Amino acid sequence: QVIDKVLDQEVTIPDLAQGKEYLFRVSACNKCGPGEPAYIDEPVNMRAPATVPDPPENVKWRDPTSKSIFLMWDPPKYDGGSRIKGYIVEKCQRGTDKWEPCGEPVTETKMKVEPLKEGEWYAYRVKALNRQGASKPSHPTDEIQAVDAMEAPEIFLDVKLLAGITVKAGTKIELPATVTGKPEPRITWTKAENILRPDKRISIESKPNHSTVIITDSKRSDSGTYIIEAVNTSGRATATVEVNVLDKPGPPAAFDVSEITNVSCLLTWNPPRDDGGSKITNYVLEQRAADSEIWHKLSSTIKETKFKVTKLTPLKEYIFRVSAENMYGVGEPALSNPMIAKYPFDTPGPPTGLKPIEITKDSVTLTWTEPDEDGGSPITGYWVERFDPDQDKWIRCNKIPVKDTTFKVKGLTNHKKYKFRVLAENLAGPGKPSKPTEPILVKDPIDPPWPPGKPTVKDVAKTSCFLQWTKPEHDGGAKIESYVVELLKTGTDEWVRVAEGVPMTEHFLKGLMEKQEYSFRIRAVNKAGESEPSEPSDPVLCKERLSPPSPPRWLEVINITKNTADLKWTVPEKDGGSPITNYIVEKRDVRRKGWQTVDTTVKDTKYTVTPLTEGSLYVFRVAAENAVGQSDYCEIEDSVLAKDTFTTPGAPYAL
């Protein structure tokens, strides 16, 4: 208790300590004693005498309309040593210097100011209040006109339209949209860049902030992208709705008739440009004669876009039509142009120049020249016929058409005469026959044989070599009795006989000169004489015999990681008389039997094998190669594991 018996409603408390904070309470007394006390709201700091607060700061505004505006501000930096009790908001109308309060003081740092005069301009400022009074006013705002704000349009589609809508043909379609904006926007609906206008099926319902397109008895053509556009003086907004109307498919495209013969044709087409929004399941194909109105169904289960029509009546005119079908039904048909069942070309003319080129005791080989005219279609083959005087008719000698202009007629009788002719054939059929040959006597002629095959030279040594060749393709009509071997020294023009009466198609030749290069050729001999010489062999040089090298040595793995292995080896003990040209490196996963070639062009005696599969066991092997051939392999003794030789550290312990 500081003081009692105070009769006024205010008192000064002396002897307070500077820098301390104090709380105070007051109780009223009557004859019965003191009542309940009243407390001050917050402690009083005795640092210095209290003053009015600093002005509020950073006055801002938002949501201006013709009747109101919303203000916000920051508290003063210094409250004057006393709590801020409230704020006074003032306004000043343009053309006057009078600041008027905008209602009662507010306790928050925001206020909605109303009412305002529409169209007038106002500036606003704020004062802070504490126990000592009102602060100086804040910095005033710019003058703001009391008019309704302009809002750019916004369009809100019904949620079921956002992903587009799919309906069956005939279903009613509704496209509702909510549109906001100030002033009220002008709304336009378009489809495929065309403005949507009401007609018998389409209507547009417009209400404030709403617009709805209604389509009754929908059709496939109603499918597409619908665009709603809202425009006012503040901006423009658009939204789209995808509409898919499912219906029967349209007509197939590019219907064409080709490969026409006198009994068949090929029909082809493309799928409809519009499948009705549903997968095409099949096609329905029909035909009718040009002189009839009755359509006959050829097939209703066609899956492909082509069909081979058969059993047509030659030279008759036909029309075809094809329709596509989906789960909603059969669509409109596509019609073909009329066509006549006939080939668009004629049979070929007669071949010329028919003559025999080989006669044996039971066969004749004929050759001829293709016709001058193919009838408008490529020649597909030839028929060879012989005349049978006993039956007085021409008999075919081949069972299938001959593709070439040469044919060997077999099964003839020895010492009998035959006449032959040839007919060319195209898609229209066989053409006119060639002029027949003169009678040909079938007998067994004997001529010198044809040349043997080109000899190959093997096992070349200092003074010898081994020759091999193939027998002639034709023995001249008599058995091959022997062969003659001839040689040519490189640098000379004279072929020298070195062996006669050779009975086999191989011969070991001795007595050659070391370091001399030779070529060889062969003649075949039958009872009619010697053949022309064969094609000469490739030149060979007589020298010490070469051989493949011995295997590499001391193969080892010097480093291994999870996907590579470094190999190292020593050159072979013997190179086979020819320098080592390269090494062949192979690897094998021990779980598999087969070796896998890694590289066949290694020049060095070390190599890095990659890639390897981490965690797999591998073995490796290496072979050397020279001009003669490949050595045996040198293989490591133990398998190696494909893994890194170091890993990440283990976990710390004793944490």
pLDDT digits (tens, 9 = 90+) for 255-290: 999 998 889 999 999 999 999 989 999 999 999 999
Please check whether residues 534 and 608 belong to one and the same domain.
Answer: no
pLDDT digits (tens, 9 = 90+) for 374-407: 888 899 999 999 999 888 999 999 999 999 999 9
d(CA 106, CA 124): 15
Does the pLDDT at position 11 exceed 80?
Answer: yes
Determine the number of helices (DSSP H) and then strands (DSSP E) in the chain: 0, 57
Does the pLDDT at position 568 exceed 90?
Answer: yes
d(CA 508, CA 122): 126
Residue 649 included in any domain: no
Residue 77 included in any domain: yes
Residue 265 included in any domain: yes
Q: Report the pLDDT value the prediction gives residue 250, as an integer from 0 to 100.
A: 92
Please check whether residues 337 and 366 belong to one and the same domain.
Answer: no
Residue 202 included in any domain: yes
Please check whether residues 208 and 165 belong to one and the same domain.
Answer: yes
Whose tokens are 């045996």? That residue is 632
pLDDT digits (tens, 9 = 90+) for 444-461: 778 889 999 999 998 888
Asked if 159 and 181 touch (Cβ cutoff 8 Å), the reply is no
Does the pLDDT at position 47 exceed 70?
Answer: no
Please check whether residues 219 and 261 belong to one and the same domain.
Answer: no
d(CA 130, CA 127): 10
pLDDT digits (tens, 9 = 90+) for 151-195: 889 999 988 888 899 999 999 999 999 999 887 899 999 998 899
Asked if 618 and 590 touch (Cβ cutoff 8 Å), the reply is yes
Number of structural domains the chain divides into = 6
d(CA 599, CA 585): 5
Examine the fold and report which residue of 341, 365, 390 is the final residue of a domain before the chain moves on. Answer: 341
Strands 165-168 and 235-246, by their bridges, are: parallel
pLDDT digits (tens, 9 = 90+) for 523-561: 999 988 899 999 999 999 888 777 889 999 999 999 999
Whose tokens are 């890993």? That residue is 647
Query: Ramachandran region of residue 291, left (φ > 0), alpha (ψ -120 to 50) or beta?
Result: alpha
Asked if 125 and 90 touch (Cβ cutoff 8 Å), the reply is yes
Q: What amino acid is encoded at 635 in this protein?
A: E
Does the pLDDT at position 42 exceed 80?
Answer: no
Does the pLDDT at position 489 exceed 90?
Answer: yes
Asked if 425 and 384 touch (Cβ cutoff 8 Å), the reply is no
Give the HSE-up count for residue 549: Cα atoms under 13 Å, Cβ half-sphere.
25
Please check whether residues 142 and 65 belong to one and the same domain.
Answer: yes
Rounded to the nearest 10 degrees, how much is the dihedral formed by the CA atoms of 415, 421, 425, 429?
A: -110
Residue 51 included in any domain: no
Q: Report the pLDDT value the prediction gives residue 458, as an integer from 0 to 100.
A: 86
3-state secondary structure of 220: helix
Q: What is the CATH number of the domain that holds 306?
A: 2.60.40.10
Residue 460 included in any domain: yes
Q: Report the pLDDT value the prediction gives residue 415, as an integer from 0 to 100.
A: 82
Q: Report the pLDDT value the prediction gives residue 272, as an integer from 0 to 100.
A: 94
Q: Report the pLDDT value the prediction gives residue 459, as an integer from 0 to 100.
A: 82
Does the pLDDT at position 647 exceed 70?
Answer: no
Does the pLDDT at position 434 exceed 70?
Answer: yes
d(CA 651, CA 279): 61
pLDDT digits (tens, 9 = 90+) for 49-102: 678 899 999 999 988 888 899 999 999 998 887 889 999 999 999 988 899 999
Asked if 119 and 143 touch (Cβ cutoff 8 Å), the reply is no
- H or E element, residue 239: strand 235-246
Please check whether residues 275 and 218 belong to one and the same domain.
Answer: no
Q: Which domain holds residue 292?
A: 256-341
Whose tokens are 């200092």? That residue is 462
Please check whether residues 239 and 269 belong to one and the same domain.
Answer: no
In Å, what is the CA distance from 126 to each residue of 77, 79, 135, 139? 14, 14, 9, 8
d(CA 81, CA 131): 9
Examine the fold and report which residue of 86, 111, 146 is the final residue of a domain before the chain moves on. Answer: 146
Residue 428 included in any domain: yes
Q: Where are the alpha helices (DSSP H) in 164-291?
A: none
Asked if 504 and 485 touch (Cβ cutoff 8 Å), the reply is no
d(CA 188, CA 205): 12
Residue 511 included in any domain: yes
Q: Report the pLDDT value the prediction gives residue 583, as an integer from 0 to 100.
A: 96
Please check whether residues 359 and 433 belong to one and the same domain.
Answer: yes
Least-confidence region, from 40-49, 93-102, 305-314, 338-347: 40-49
DSSP collapsed to 3 states, 21-34: EECCEECCEECCEE
Does the pLDDT at position 577 exceed 90?
Answer: no
Whose tokens are 């053949």? That residue is 531
**Mean pLDDT across the chain:** 91
Asked if 603 and 581 touch (Cβ cutoff 8 Å), the reply is no
Please check whether residues 464 and 427 belong to one and the same domain.
Answer: no
Percent pLDDT > 70 in the chain is: 99
d(CA 41, CA 53): 18
Examine the fold and report which residue of 315, 341, 367 is the final residue of a domain before the chain moves on. Answer: 341
| Strands of the sheet with 57-62, listed across from one edge | 57-62, 69-74, 110-113
